[in-house]
Amino acid sequence: MIIGSCHAPGVDLCPTCSAPLNGRTVRRPAPDEPLQVRELRRCKTCDHVAWRPESDTGPWSDAGSGPEHDYLFATLQPLPEPWSFIPHGEKAELEAQLRTEVPDEHPLRGKKVIAIARCGGCDEVVYSVEEDPGWFARVHLTWRSAPGSLPWPTTTPLALPLVNSLADHAH
């Protein structure tokens, strides 16, 4: 990695256009090294996405621009009631619960998922499926401690943007 001599510690600058990089941070595994987590931010000035290793305070690297990044940042719009984003510290439990519940033959069996949002009125959780950036699945968790039998946990694919496809989920 090239470290620019003009980099001021503590100031996050876009590696592409040098504008302040003050958007929201998204965390994702590195594409080539899944155990390594990267922070990503989208520059509001040039629309490029920048990345750096998690917990690093050094300069950012360019991750390019284009629609393939949209799904990462599309979820930042407010969600319709009663949906809410899952705080970073609560994702792991919901991801582990899905892995526990899905039986063989289930479309999400063996998939690496990221818990995105949950419904405040029922046990439904939205996951993104890591291998396919366009695949968001709404899942009704059973909260059992062993795999269920199909179709449980029931799952529905969601179209983007999530804000629209979650709006008709009513109680």
Report DSSP state, residue 69.
G
In 8-154, where does DSSP find H-type helix? Answer: 70-74, 91-101
Selected binder of Zn ion within 108, 116, 124, 162 (CB under 5 A): 124
Identify residues 40-79 at the interface with Zn ion (CB under 5 A): 43, 45-46
Pairing of strands 61-62, 124-129: unpaired
Q: Considering the rule CB under 5 A, would residue 119 count as an interface residue with Zn ion?
A: yes
Counting contacts by CB under 5 A, is residue 117 touching Zn ion?
Answer: no
Rounded Cα–Cα distance for residues 168 and 171 (Å): 10
Min separation Cβ 156 and Zn ion, Å: 12
State in angstroms the smallest separation of the CB of 83 from Zn ion: 8
Q: Which of helix, strand or coil describes residue 111?
A: coil
121 makes contact with Zn ion (CB under 5 A): yes
Structure tokens at 31: 């594409």
Q: Which span sits near Zn ion by CB under 5 A: 7-15, 73-81, 100-108, 136-144? A: 7-15
Please tell me whether residue 14 binds Zn ion under the rule CB under 5 A: yes
C-alpha 63/C-alpha 41 separation (Å) is: 9
Shorter beta-carbon distance to Zn ion: residue 26 or 46 = 46
Binding segment toward Zn ion, per CB under 5 A, in 22-30, 36-44, 93-101, 107-115? 36-44
Helices and strands (H, E) in the chain, number of each type: 3, 9
Tokens of 61: 């690297």
Give me 46's structure tokens. Answer: 């040039």
Q: Taking contact as CB under 5 A, which single stretch among the options 71-79, 111-119, 132-140, 144-152 is the one that binds Zn ion?
A: 111-119
Binding residues for Zn ion (CB under 5 A): 14, 16-17, 19, 43, 45-46, 119, 121-122, 124
